[in-house]
Amino acid sequence: MTEPQTTSTGILAAMYGAVRALQLYPAENDVVRHALAEVKNVADQILKQEGGLSVWVAGSYMFVNDLQVRLDLQDYATLAAFRELLRGHGVGRLEVDPKADAEDWQKALAMLAAEPSPGQPPLEALLDRMEAAGISRISVGPPAPMFEGSDAEKTTEAARRTYSRSVKVARETMEGLVLGKAIGARRAERAVLTVVDQVLQEPATMLGMLTLRDFDDHSYVHSVNVSILSVALGDYLGLNREQLFELGFAALFHDIGKVLIPPAVLNKMGWLNDEEWRLVSQHPDFGLLMLFNAEGFEELPYRGMLAVYEHHMKPDLSGYPRVIRRRRQGLFARIIALTEAYDAAISNYSKQFLPCSPDEAIRQLREAEAGAYDPVITRAFVNMMGIFPVATLVILDTGEMGVVVAPNPNPKALSRPLVRIIANADGERVGNGPIRDLTEMDPDTGRYSRSIARSTDPARYGINISDHVA
Ligand SMILES: [Fe+2]
Ligand SMILES: [Fe+2]
């Protein structure tokens, strides 16, 4: 038997798939027929098991038969695109009668596939058209009033809170360790769990937090960013919640050993001398020892400690600490090595290098020399983030400016993410404008309606990216 969660994701994905097919092909085309058959099939399963089928959009959340649909990163783009499509029509609720047949589905989805007509409020127009077409077994309605308003803002707020609390806990834990205080193990663990849950629920929003720059304390921000990225990548690779917790924990403390290194050495401009380098390259050993001696754990986080020790080892073991016997750098360490390189590249932690844009950072990782990172994990990371990762500010060939909010649901369209328009072709800011799927074609010319011309630096335009991601 299928799990309910899978089926609720399934019905939304199937409906969106059919809408997209109807936008691209005539109704008698095979692609459309298959997509509609899939919708009917999944819908009938749900109707049979649960006696009814209703879809709700509430802010940035979606519900199927009162059950909140978990948006994981793999489905995020599809579901977010479908949510935006329903919103565009002013639809907050869609109800399906158990007697709905294939024809009802085809007519109703075709109406959703059409652009909302200008001039009239979109929901009114849609209701008129559905009535005229005689569709009675699938009905739509406005969003419930209690759900309207600022849910997207609330999501961003929650993500921001999680983020800044994690930075605070990371700082206090690490400072405490320097002073030899018992580590607030429970607090640290709770902070990691919150990060894990928040990343599982709203991955794109949490990834958008990486661009928050209102913290001065670099090393703690780096730790939290690496934790978020690692959990997202671990989830993408199929780790379970327990493993994600261990991974998130290791990521949060991967550089904890650096607190034992004098700031003058850590922040030194220019090359380090031998003695300084020896110190810096010992931070994985220091980290392992610190966690080993830390008090307050019910059980020592061994897998995490190992990852802390191994995070600079490199898959070909050419990194540090130097190893004498052959061994294999563990999975967690391989994940952390990659995500921390990405975060360091997009951030201005070191005054010696300018931060690069997210797409440039992805390019560098893809082109890194063999042996530096695990190729399979690198590929997964690139697939997860897209060529233009979430939070990249882009200029489109239409002259519009936008922020990448999710990778494209189609894994082959890595360079055509979903983009929220934030300035129109005349350069006027439009706040949080519509989300556009860059695989959308212009039916007249048969070409893409929009493509990315280039990425650009938000600081140049005074744009706070995290305001536009949720
Ligand atoms: Fe490190
Ligand atoms: Fe690091």
**468: amino acid identity, one letter:** H
Helix 218-236, helix 375-385: angle, nearest 10: 100
Cα of 4 from ligand 2 centre, angstroms: 40
Instruction: Report residues of the chain scoring pLDDT below 50.
Output: 1-3, 146-150
Helices (H), 133-181: 151-178
Calculate helix-pair angle for 241-252, 302-310, nearest 10 degrees. Answer: 50
- Interatomic CA distance for residues 120 and 289, integer angstroms: 67
Cβ neighbours of residue 386 under 8 Å, at least 6 residues apart? Answer: 362, 404, 407, 408, 414, 415, 417
**Residue for token digits 């002259």?**
399
Q: Which of 294, 319, 23 is nearest to 180 (CA)?
A: 294
Ligand 1 geometric centre to CA of 77 (Å): 32
User: What is d(CA 43, CA 15) in angstroms, rounded to the nearest whole number?
Assistant: 9
Separation CA 16–CA 12 (nearest Å): 6
Tokens of residue 164, six digits: 């800044």
Please give the pLDDT value at position 71.
67
Q: For residue 84, how far is its CA from the centre of ligand 1 (angstroms)?
A: 40
Q: Which pLDDT score is estimated for 145? A: 55
All structural domains of the chain with their residue ranges: 4-147, 151-385, 393-467
Tell the residue number behind the tokens 């085309």, with chain if given: 29
Its CATH class, for the domain covering 151-385, is mainly alpha
- Which residues are in the CB-under-5-Å shell of ion ligand 1? 255
Nearest bound ligand to the CA of residue 229:
2
Distance CA 60, CA 459 (A): 27
Q: Which H/E stretch holds residue 71?
A: none
Query: Phi, psi (5° rounding) for residue 377?
Result: -70, -35
CA of 457 to the centre of ligand 1 (A): 27
Core vs surface per residue 116-134: b (16+ CB within 10 A) or e: beeeeebbebbbeebeeee
212's CB contacts (< 8 A; 6+ apart) are 160, 163, 221, 466
User: Which ligand is the nearest neighbour of the Cα of 350?
Assistant: 2
pTM exceeding the 0.85 threshold for the entire prediction:
no
Q: Which ligand neighbours the alpha carbon of 230 most closely?
A: 2
Residue 283 CA, ligand 1 centroid: distance in Å: 7
List pLDDT tens digits, range 102-143.
899 999 999 999 887 777 788 888 888 888 888 889 989 887
CA–centroid distance for 88 within its chain: 22
Q: Supply the pLDDT for residue 340.
A: 95
CA distance 243 to 292: 20
Full strand arrangement of the beta sheet holding 53-58 = 67-68, 61-64, 53-58, 93-96, 138-141
Nearest-CA neighbor of 283 among 313, 261, 252? 261
- Ligand 1 centre and the CA of 336: distance in Å? 9
* Distance of CA 249 from the midpoint of ligand 1 (Å): 14
From the CA of 223, which ligand is nearest? 2
Q: What is the pLDDT of residue 32?
A: 93
pLDDT for the residue 213: 61
Rounded to the nearest 5°, which phi and psi values hold at 54?
A: -135, 140
Q: Name the nearest CA neighbour of 169 among 159, 180, 177, 157.
A: 177
The CA distance from 215 to 301, in Å, is 28
Cα atoms found within 13 Å of the Cα of residue 131, Cβ hemisphere only: 7
The single residue listed with the structure tokens 């298959």 is 34
SS3 for 74-113 is HHHHHHHHHHHHHHHCCCCEEEECCCCCHHHHHHHHHHHH
Cis check for the bond before 143: say yes or no (omega within 30 of 0).
no
Token pair for residue 414? 């890595």
- Per-residue DSSP letter, 429: B
The model's pLDDT over 183-220, given as tens digits with 9 standing for 90+, comes to: 677 778 888 888 898 888 878 778 888 876 655 677 78
How close is the Cα of 467 to the center of ligand 1, in Å? 30
**DSSP symbol at 402:** E
Residues composing the chain: 470
Residue 463 in tokens? 């744009």
Task: Pull the structure tokens for residue 152.
Answer: 């997207």
